[in-house]
Amino acid sequence: MSDSGGLPPHSSTIACDLPSEICPIAYIGINFIIRTNNFGSRIKGSSMSSPSSSQLPQSSLGEQEQDVKLEEMPITKHLMILRQHLFKIVAAILLLFFCLLPFANRTYQILSEPLRAQLPVSSSMIATDVTATFMAPFKLNFFVALMLVMPYIIYQIWSFAKPALYEKEKSLALPILVSSICLFYLGIAFAYFIALPSILHFFISVSPETVAPMTDINSYLAFCLKLFLVFGLTFEIPVVTLLLILIGVVSTQSLVEKRRFIIVGCFFISMFVTPPDAISMIMLAVPMWLLFELGLLLGKVLEKSKATA
């Protein structure tokens, strides 16, 4: 067993090529797939060259027993287990969706409060499509159900991937998954309570006096959902940064040396994913920068703890 926590050969390289926003989940999934495809060769090699069970540490014995159990399970069994987890996820989303459906209109009113607070008294939101008054709250209700079920989805992913992980990887994966969902929620809250009111205030304040702002409910919903997803993913930066340091893709020293380029990159990315105004760009770029610094700080603490261990 190598010092890398039992990772298979080339697994770190594969994880490096993935988009950063899916690294926490892909890290677990790739390890599971690689191990289930290579258990046979690993066990054959260990039976020919490894020492007897009495000479192996207890942790190595436990890992070998885990490998044997998973190697004996056919791929169809893995697919059946995966189907069960997916069924539970879909069932949970649909159940919560239908439970929240009677409150869909009220949910949309809550979403529209930042806009209605900025609109002039004579202005209101409009629906330019016949089905918009039904579809906009309907789509928002599904989004809310999906976000509320997210911890359960993470739990199902963890339950499926857990048997393929070693103890060291389990201790690493679970905090990453939990912190990822918490930071995603925090990003949505930041977007709703801070970023969205500031952006709406700017756009409405610069509109000509002869123009009465009347926003379509579908357009406003699409704008808000995009903003929530952008800020939710942005708040994953500390987790992604720490994960890249953990698996050896980068070091804190290299990140410090490239800090100026990363800061410029934060403003460059925010320029493309936010509305075309300086307020929106700054509202996203500054948190991106600060969250990167937080991930870098956690990475330094981790490297120091490894050096003293």
pLDDT (0 to 100) of residue 231: 96
Burial class of residue 261, CB neighbours in 10 A (0-12, 13-18, 19+): exposed
CA distances from 68 to 8, 62, 64, 171 (A): 16, 10, 6, 22
Helix (H) or strand (E) holding 201: helix 196-205
Give how far the C-alpha of residue 94 lies from the chain's centroid of Cα atoms, to the nearest Å. Answer: 21
pLDDT (0 to 100) of residue 19: 44
Q: Which amino acid is at 51?
A: P
> Considering the entire predicted model, what is its pTM?
0.74
Domain extent listing, the chain: 11-308
Residues whose CB falls within 8 Å of the CB of residue 287, separated by 6 or more in sequence, listed in order: 190, 231, 234, 235
Do residues 240 and 249 lie in contact, with contact meaning Cβ atoms separated by under 8 Å? no
Cα–Cα distance between 209 and 206 in angstroms, integer?
9
C-alpha dihedral (182, 309, 243, 145), degrees to nearest 10: -20
For residue 77, the number of C-alpha atoms closer than 13 Å in the C-beta half-sphere is: 7
Can you name the residues that pair with 216 across neighbouring β-strands?
Answer: 126
pLDDT (0 to 100) of residue 232: 96
What are the residue ranges in the chain where pLDDT is below 70?
Answer: 1-72, 309
pLDDT (0 to 100) of residue 148: 96
pLDDT (0 to 100) of residue 10: 44
Q: What SS3 class is residue 214?
A: coil
Residues whose CB falls within 8 Å of the CB of residue 81, separated by 6 or more in sequence, listed in order: 160
Burial class of residue 89, CB neighbours in 10 A (0-12, 13-18, 19+): middle
pLDDT (0 to 100) of residue 13: 40
